[in-house]
Amino acid sequence: MHRFKVEKMGCGGCAKSVTRAVQGIEPNARVEVELGAKLVTVSDAAGPADRIAQAIAAAGFPAEPLPAAA
């Protein structure tokens, strides 16, 4: 599981764009978006966090990887 802080995400359209960006490189990933907290959690992803963060950033939403939750 990977978690990201995505400060520019502010609406449902943003959340959909972030989800599409992640699933574009990780089709089997499960993406959960917490708009209020500006957090994105990606489960069932095979790739590294940096690759996912780059995909989110390429969609216009700079993403900061967070440490994995214990």
Q: So what's the pLDDT on residue 67?
A: 85
Mean predicted confidence (pLDDT) in 58-66: 96
pTM over 0.85: yes
Answer for the pair 29, 23: CB distance below 8 angstroms, yes or no. yes
Average pLDDT over residues 4-20: 96
Residues 1-24, mean pLDDT to the nearest whole number: 96
For the beta sheet containing 30-34, the strands, ordered from the edge strand earlier in sequence to the opposite edge, are 30-34, 39-43, 2-5, 64-66
Cα–Cα distance list, 12 to 22, 33, 49, 56, 69 (Å): 15, 9, 23, 15, 25
pLDDT at 9: 95
